[in-house]
């Protein structure tokens, strides 16, 4: 009887996280924000990838260390409601004037994975659209509740990036 109960418990410990992980692959938690900027895609890229200047203007990613190149590991400090979180995402794409994308993981892969992206679209006439978003997948994503709802932080960063890009000479 004890062996049977233990077997059921072990099966549940494997099946529940596996099921949650599979569910988030089908229906991930997604965030998407955008802003139009009176600056060229090259200028927006310059501001976005000047990680050393983040402490001067970025209210969300208050510091970032590393390079905008595929395979590079960044060290980002996030500010969210007064608390600081440090994480080390790996850059997946870095196309100047078009896209910066990285993946960050909380714990081991498959627990909570966030693929964060910045896409820059040329609107012509020296104007751009910046789309910032993230797709969260992993076994604990359905249980994370509001902890992953950071759209306000993304929007604040977008607004600050817009202001900085538009005031540059």
Q: DSSP of 100-148, one letter per residue?
A: EEEEEEESSTTSEEEEEEEEEEEEETTEEEEEEEEEEESTTGGG-GGGG
Burial of 127 (0-12, 13-18, 19+ CB in 10 A): middle
Superfamily of domain 2-167: START domain (3.30.530.20)
pTM of the model: 0.83
Domain segments of the chain as ranges: 2-167
Tokens of 116: 């964060």
| Burial profile 64-100: b = 16 or more Cβ within 10 angstroms, e = fewer | bebebeeeeebebbbbeeeeeeeeebebeebeeeebb
Model pLDDT, residue 145: 73
**Which pLDDT tens digit goes with each residue over 113-146?**
999 999 999 999 999 999 999 999 998 898 887 7
């Amino acid at each position: 009887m004890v062996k049977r109960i233990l077997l059921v418990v072990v099966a549940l410990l494997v099946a529940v996280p596996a099921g949650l992980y599979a569910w988030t692959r089908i229906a991930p938690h997604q965030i998407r924000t955008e802003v139009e900027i009176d600056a060229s895609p090259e200028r927006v890229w310059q501001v976005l990838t000047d990680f050393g200047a983040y402490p001067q203007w970025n209210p969300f990613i208050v510091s970032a260390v590393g390079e905008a190149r595929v395979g590079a590991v960044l060290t980002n400090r996030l500010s969210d409601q007064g608390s600081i979180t440090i994480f080390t995402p790996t850059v997946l794409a870095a196309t100047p004037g078009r896209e910066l994308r990285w993946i960050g993981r909380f714990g081991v892969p498959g627990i909570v994975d966030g693929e964060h992206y910045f896409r820059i679209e040329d609107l012509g006439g020296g104007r751009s659209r910046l789309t910032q978003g993230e797709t969260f997948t992993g076994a604990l994503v359905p249980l994370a509740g509001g902890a992953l709802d950071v759209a306000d932080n993304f929007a604040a960063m977008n607004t600050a990036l817009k202001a900085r890009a538009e005031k540059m000479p």
